[in-house]
Amino acid sequence: MDTVVVVVWLSMVVTILSRSHADRNVYPSAGVLFVHVLEREHFKGEFPPYPKPGDSSNDPITFNTNLMGYPDRPGWLRYIQRTSHSDGVLYGSPTAEHVGKATIIEITAYNRRTFETARHNLVINIMSTEEYPLPYQAEFFIKNMNVEEMLASEVLGDFLGAVKNVWQPERLNAINITSALDRGGRVPLPINNLKEGVYVMVGADVQFSSCLREVENPHNQLRCSQEMEPVISCDKKFRAQFDIDWCKINLVDITKVVMIHSNRPDPGTGVLPDIGEYNPPSESLKSRDFFADFLITLAVPSAVAMVLFTILGYSMCCRREGVDKRNMQTPDIQLVHHSSIQKSTKELRSMSKNREISWPLSTLPVFSQSGEVVPPIHPDNYETTSMPLMQTQTNLQNQIQIPQQQPSGDRDNYCMSTFRRLEVNGIPEERKVAEALNL
């Protein structure tokens, strides 16, 4: 039991010591490509082991890099990590203005399985070099490579060897590497093993070779404008491993660029100097009262709205003719004619309410076994226009009783059904019912 406690205590001590890792110093040169690999194996020891053997080797680990005291990295330094099971890479090309300045990069490793973190510091001490800047620089676009593939030392070495065979310089350095996505390129489709492409800039101390100058040939420039591949004699030395887009190659002579910049005229008085801070004249500015502007902004639309409302109200309310004025302008014969039509309409409506009609047989009530008497369908003061088709059989006057057959066991007992006494075409209604029963 004591042995287990000692082992656990020792593992905790080792973990704490490993997390208090000392800063790591690197010394890149200005104008030369800097590459630093964040190896997952190096950070796995920062996290406690799992009880099952082999589990810790599969932990997903991601990295976050930033300049100490700031949320992001310096402008010349980039970082890439494709998946949580691959190593991260810091790469970039420092310039002469960063020489002598220690750049501290905080590296935080996240274990996505245990949610634990470990932090290291990378101190970048940028050194100056006499070879910087190399006067002749060429930028190549490689279509069949990604950034992390090109940053591998063996792949980058093969590319520099191919360029050296074509260019034949005394000094050759990789200056910078940039992904095509950072230059506005599109993410390729995940088919046919397509790559996003990468730009590689190299520098040398001698003039460009004749092979590289073939890109500036008018014939090749015409083929590039027609989206055709130019004819380059040294392309076969790259084609075996690197697919170069020769239409996108960029050749820069630093000596000519510096000479052009040195002949620039002095800036005028409206250009601020490169040093110093701009202090705006805040004390000399006078405060301004916007109350009058506020009143004008509200008063003008309100006045226009009131004028329009007054005109509309006068047109709708004060300019109405009225019924009397209309009648005065109407001819008398038209008024008399209209009045006679109204009187005739009222008279016809009053007459339609008092007329008597005989109801058809289809509207008479059905036979009933109760023997109750149904009241009159419509008395003298009943309004026929609101009379329903079917009537209830209560207190019906002027009815006749029709005997109905009963079962053989009780022939003396029978009940009566009633109908209203009416005449249809001069024949009493009960007669028609009696004839229907006889049939």
Tens digit of each residue's pLDDT (9 = 90 or more) over 47-83: 777 666 655 567 888 999 999 989 889 889 999 998 8
Among 42-56, 59-73, 260-274, 304-318, which is the least confidently predicted range? Answer: 260-274
| pLDDT for 272 | 59
Alpha helices, H only, 124-190: 147-150, 153-167
Token pair recorded at residue 227: 């989206």
Q: Is the pLDDT of residue 414 over 80?
A: no
**CA nearest neighbour of 93 among 35, 145, 38, 136:** 35
| pLDDT for 390 | 47
**Residue 369 φ/ψ, nearest 5 degrees:** -95, 0
Distance CA 3, CA 234 (A): 69
Q: Is the pLDDT of residue 404 over 60?
A: no
Burial annotation 28-44 (CB, 10 A radius, 16+ → b, else e): bbbbbbbebebebeebb
Average confidence score pLDDT of the chain: 75
Q: Is the pLDDT of residue 355 over 70?
A: no
Q: Three-state DSSP class for 165? A: helix
| pLDDT for 104 | 92
**Residue 173 φ/ψ, nearest 5 degrees:** -135, 150
| pLDDT for 14 | 29
Distance CA 293, CA 297 (A): 6
Which helix (H) or strand (E) segment holds residue 34: the answer is strand 34-38
| Centroid of chain to Cα 263 | 50
pTM of the model as a whole: 0.54
- CATH number, span 22-125: 2.60.40.10
- Under 8 Å CB-to-CB from 114, ≥6 apart: which residues? 47, 48, 59
Distance CA 172, CA 332 (A): 116
| pLDDT for 298 | 93
Distance CA 384, CA 316 (A): 46
Token pair recorded at residue 122: 């990378």
Tens digit of each residue's pLDDT (9 = 90 or more) over 182-226: 888 888 877 777 888 999 999 998 889 888 889 888 999 999 999
Distance CA 174, CA 160 (A): 8
291, 297, 298, 302: CA torsion to nearest 10: 150
Average pLDDT over residues 328-337: 83
Distance CA 25, CA 124 (A): 6
Distance CA 423, CA 431 (A): 9
**CA nearest neighbour of 203 among 177, 170, 175, 168:** 175
> Between these two residues, 413 and 329, which has the higher pLDDT value?
329
| pLDDT for 227 | 87
Q: Is the pLDDT of residue 97 over 90?
A: no
Token pair recorded at residue 392: 């209830």
- CATH 2.60.40.10 residue spans of the chain: 22-125
Alpha helices, H only, 186-251: 210-213, 218-225, 236-239
| pLDDT for 396 | 44
Distance CA 184, CA 205 (A): 30
Distance CA 92, CA 28 (A): 10
pLDDT category of residue 288 using cuts at 50, 70 and 90: confident
Distance CA 277, CA 280 (A): 10
> Between these two residues, 367 and 323, which has the higher pLDDT value?
323
Distance CA 435, CA 439 (A): 6
Tens digit of each residue's pLDDT (9 = 90 or more) over 21-31: 557 889 888 88
Distance CA 395, CA 410 (A): 28
Adjacent-strand bridge partners of 127 = 29
| Centroid of chain to Cα 41 | 40
Give the number of residues written for the chain: 439
Among 15-19, 241-245, 261-265, 294-298, which is the least confidently predicted range? Answer: 15-19
pLDDT category of residue 360 using cuts at 50, 70 and 90: low
